[in-house]
Structure 1
Amino acid sequence: MDERFDTGTVVGKKSDTHWGQVIKTPYAFGVVEVEDDEGKAQKAGMELIHSVTREVSEPVSSIQRLFSFIDSLWNPNIQTLLLCVPIGNTITVILRGTGVVYLKRDGHIARLRSREGTISGVVYPQDILFLSSKTCLNGISEEELFSFFDHMGVADIAEKLTLHLHKKNDTVGYAGLFVEVKGGLQEAFPTDEQEPVRKKLRWNPNAYHHALHVQGIKRRARAFWHTLRTVDIRITGILLVLFVVSISVGIVRERSGKKSTEVMKTIQEGQRLYDEGVALLDLNVIKSRERLVEAKQLVDKTKQTVSPKTKEGRMLVSLEKNIAEALPKATKEYEVAPELFFDASLLKAGSSISSFGLYEDTMAFLDTHSKTVFTLQLSTKNGQIVGGGGTLDGSETVAIHGDRVYVFTLAGIHVFNVQDKTVKPFVIKKAADWISIKAMTAFGGNIYLLDTGKSRIWKYVATASAFSDLREFLLPDFFPDLSKAANMVIDGSVWLGTTNGTVTRFTQGKEDSFVLKGVDPPFGNTVIVYTPQNHRRFRKAWGTVFLFRRKALYCQS
């Protein structure tokens, strides 16, 4: 046995059918276990050990050749053939059959090999190897085995384990070998003095090496060998980089393909919505606008993730352009410049219009500054002054019905006759219930007052010669909040525009709910309501006029 190693032998009881032994030569060591039902186990085992010992009686020059030789000896009676070959500071383990190799290093124990094959690795002083045959594994658990690895020498450890196994009945034919590395190890392949010292290598149970013992090779041959090894490493590195790059390119292409598919689905959906929106232009303007807005939102969201230089990007740009051209047709928005229709200063110098009312083709105007009431026939633009003077002190708003113009003042309501230009003051006197009158409307000859201070609508019914006492239009048990109301018109129902962008309708004294459809975005500030015969016109305070049909469907703006 090599003087660099100490060994401890563990050999169990033998029988004619079951036999085990260890192998120890200067160039290899191991364990053998043979089982023969015909009673020739010892003979077969001795022949096997003789053949192996003769093969490793000289330094091993080829692990591959040794493995092939062991393979040629194999037969079904051999249970274990486990061989360790030290070359420099490297040990190669060859296992055929069933067995196991353990390594103890720095106080830690690990299983190196328990399946057929080979394994190589670097060993260091104070490392302890334990080679075990098949039956030895059956006679003791790993926990028990590890307990024998104490601070004693391998010979003492082997003796303790042998005594322990002899007490068991099922350990006939086992063999085990403890090997401790003492020192004096050399590199298997010496290097130049300038080469850095080789770092310690962990024993790698997955590595498969071919260890070669090279002696007497000159410096030039060693340098050539290292050059070849460096070239191999570089080639391997280049191939590895190319492999990683090819995988990365494949992943990028796959992701790009998936993204392109998703974008095309989005474009198809946007195109479908656009086509539906265009088809609905003349049938249902609200549905048409909804489809086009959906298509626009879809395109806006998708184009942020797609380059306009790609095929999909160009398709999105084209679809976006088509949607932009169709949307004004669906929204029916028209921008017009206002033109002067009538100048009140033509009737009275310096006059301006503070309030107006409308009845059929005639409008009534109130100038609170000059205290004057005008009328204007819209079809002919024929205007005239109906009245004025001190009667209009404290006047605030005006309404018209037939040939009568009603002016609301803080003290009451006066009526002016358009035909003879006479005035009847205080046809309705101020009532104690009034708090803050915001608007006045004449409908059917009756007078309606919007009181935002008390959140009520007051009604005065016309009689043969005057007006009735104050009445409530709203039901007595109905109390809506009218504090935000801005104006009031009546067409059978009472319509209120508000300062918070909403429109309220009351019918027969109670709220008649409805929803304006097709306005996007909704009204956000003061709304003034006007009701011609078949439409509702709602004007935002900043000047946009919206036209709705009777069912509150948006028509145009």
Structure 2
Amino acid sequence: MKGDILLSKIVANATETGWSQVYSTLNLYVVISIKREHAKNTIATLGKDVLEKLQREFFALDEKNLESIKASVENTIKSLEENVDCSIILSTIIQNTLYIVIAGQGYVIVKREDKIGIVAEGEEGEINGFSGPLKDNDSIIIETADFYKKVSVDKLSSLLDTLDILDAAENIAPSIHRDSRGTEASIILKYKTGKMEDDGNEIAEKKEEEDVISDNPGRRLNKQSIANKIQNILPSKTIFKRFSFEWLKLPAIGGKKSIILFFIIVLIGALGASIVIEKNRQQQKQQEQEFKAIIDPAQQKYSGALSILNLNKSLAVSELTEVQKMLNDAKNKFENGSNERKKIENLLAEVNNKIDDLDQGIKISTEVLFDSQKDEKVKTIDLVSTKGNSLVVVNKNNGAVLFFSTKGSLQKTLQSAIKDVKIASSDKSYVYLLSGDGIYRLDKEKTKPERIIKNVSGGAVAIDNFLGNIYILNSQENDIEKYVSSGFNKSSYFTNEVDFSSEPVSFSIDSSIWIIQADGKIRKFTKGKEESFSVKGLVTPFGNSLSIYTDKDMSNVYVLDKQSARIVSIGKDGDYVNSYKWDSLKDADSFAIDEANKKGYVVADNKLYSFDLQ
């Protein structure tokens, strides 16, 4: 009968010099570790190449036995560079027999009832093969040498005595990730066999065998003793249930005719049964092939994403999202309750949990720097800017401008007397205020504002400045209006007409212009021309009520997503960096970032808040 397998996986996060991975599909279970000081490619790329080559070699085998499997492992590692230390522990289960090939160092441990022991141990620079029979409820631990150093056989035995394999793996994981070398990895399997019964009584032939599992945990057995002691214990014959059938009542036909008719009926029945059996076999084979074509790439992609999580979080998230889509699209191809559907759903649950973990972000702790309701002259505040290396806050109603130190203390307040301020920006020398009758420039050392631009179009939704020039985002015209400092004459920033797929709602300048649309798409323009840009690794798409912020000295672009109550930082190469979460961001009026001092600022509910960047 075909056995069933329950499994759990433990893999350390990769380092620059160490990488490990586990892989399982159908009846193949692989644990790999790689160490190297220098190589042409990153260690994660090298590891993925080794794993892909091993898969190709293994699944190309027409006949799978110890010799052929050993040859596939040899072919996999023979082309590796000399400075690469690669260990492969490959196991496969065929007809209740466990076959093991170990290249380099590694271990396979079996726990059977109350006994546990090492049944296979690899040796540095060698490739060795092992095989032996499995019994119902055997626990098999396939592990790298560095995993073995951290988790003793005694500890494994103790955990598996009291916990199932999933809980045991969860218990072990923290010690593996602590001070990790990147090469600690293991698969823990629970083997379940099928049973055949006759009229409710168990019928099976049992073959006596020598027990290779030691009463003394941790005792190592050499491969010669294992080869001699572990034998294949498949039943020598098969016993089927007996069935009784009522005789068909046929008209009395005498002599040879009745015998011929009887055999015709038997032949027709046998032919019909064989057709049904063959059809079912073909359907099952087709389903297995279809399942393998789905689960193998998904597991490979998932393992690859985990292996680069510490090296490139953005790429890892993108890979996980692709796996999530692959599995969601594929699961309905298989019936509810089928083994294939269960395996897809189990992997999907694992992927979803990992994506949820990565999407947690940072829950920020805020400090109130200023409460305008406690200031009789100011009363309300609405806008904040950190451009020009100064922290500036503006009251929309009366045009009051508040200047703060980088440490958050209020230094002075200027009453500009400009009514109905819509948007504001600043640089080292000036604060720029856009109101209903134009744009005013307020010298930081003077109190009287100067109107520098009249008759600004009604579609203005954002203002920024660069090198003394003023830029306005006009959402009605889908344009960036540029006002050069020498005379402030109006022109279009774009060299060609730009097609916005959704309304542009906010922009910010760092020498290039970054525009965010209402649909969450970010677009980058330099010298009036669009450059290719896309966000990678963002798990939850942007919602609505968006604004964007950056500056020439910043490494990242920041997006306030009020719907999701978060501020998202994105590298200027498009890679997702982090999320800062706070429920009150849903009510934020404005935000600004000061990367130099690792501070973020938010105006909400007439208060100025600060939080730490990480």
Relative CO higher for 1 or 2, CA cutoff 8 Å, sep ≥ 6? 2
TM, length-normalised to structure 1: 0.49
Which one has the largest radius of gyration?
Answer: 1
